[in-house]
Amino acid sequence: MAVTTTSSSDTAAPYEVDECRGILRVYSDGSIVRSSKPSFDVPVHDDGSVLWKDVLFDPTHDLRLRLYKPASASSSSAKLPIVYYIHGGGFCIGSRTWPNCQNYCFKLASELHAVVVSPDYRLAPENRLPAAIEDGYAAVKWLQAQALEMSDAWLADVADFGRVFISGDSAGGNIAHNLAARLRAGAPELAPVLVRGYVLLAPFFGGTVWSKSEAEGPKDAFLNLELIDRFWRLSIPTGDTTDHPLVNPFGPSSLDLEPLDLDPILVVVGGADLLKDRAEEYATKLKAWGKKVEYVEFQGLQHGFFTIDPNSGDSKRLMLIIKRFIADNSN
């Protein structure tokens, strides 16, 4: 008589195999659980000086962006530059709705006197790269449609579509780089929108060989090597490595940036950020190839210092640097 046996592995409950900042949990059976709570549970500082609203920019993927503008802006005043702020989170977590993101966008709109566009994008591991890059592109194509139609007075009455700057934080900085490489100088395919420059805030780049700052960085860093590896493991295309062209700008199969005509780029990083060496290498190589690149390092500061404490002296200094970069590249 045949006897059917069931191994313990067949009946065992799914167990957690990956976790990111308590927000994302991946289980052994492939299931994924996301918390609706942000990992940065801080108060939203909405004092009414900046107006905002949400807009659906990609109906296919149900993606929205959040628009901000100073309450003082009007159709009778000078048009304002448009600044994209693409959030971070290792391509796995984060949202335009998170309080830290919203507070920083309030600061950007107020301090830069600008219209701020903060788009969401599809997250990994449900949507691995290149999904996030494609969504970043869709978010700027949305702006082109607004410039052509001029149908939304909330935006069109105050925004200067000829002065657009694309900034991104961490994973958002990676998206900004990939947009710069795709769109090239001036972004002619976005006409009448004119991109004037890019701001890469601690851009999330990788590679199969660790940098010195990654290998020697403190294990208790806000963004430590274990978390960096986890983010990449969950976000790169299955079967690929961190030398993927969207991950490593200088990988063996990456686009050759040397002959490209690129817009001005501001690269910012904290000196104690494990991503510091990759950001510095990026800026150094592009400069050597004749690109207009500015590199600013904040000594002793960790990853994300400007959104963790947007009111610190260093964060205020960074805002002035961004403001000057916009002014220098607006004519």
Active site residues: 170
Residue 265 CA to residue 197 CA, distance in Å, equals 6
Relative orientation angle of helices 131-149 and 171-183, to the nearest 10 degrees: 60
| Residue 237 CB partners (closer than 8 Å, separation 6+) | 128, 129, 130, 244
Residue 62 CA to residue 36 CA, distance in Å, equals 17
C-alpha 224, offset from chain centre: 18
Coil vs helix vs strand at 114: coil
Which of 228, 168, 164, 170 lies closest to 195 in space, CA to CA?
A: 164
Residue 42 sits at φ, ψ, to 5 deg, of -120, 160
Q: How far is CA 296 from CA 127, 204, 218, 319, 325, in A?
A: 32, 16, 22, 12, 12
Residue 133 CA to residue 78 CA, distance in Å, equals 32
Strands 63-70 and 293-298: unpaired
DSSP labels for 64-107?
EEEEEEETT--TTSPPEEEEEEE--STTTS--TTSHHHHHHHHH
Beta bridge partners of 297: 269
Place of tokens 């998170």: 98
Q: How far apart are the first and last CA of the chain?
A: 87
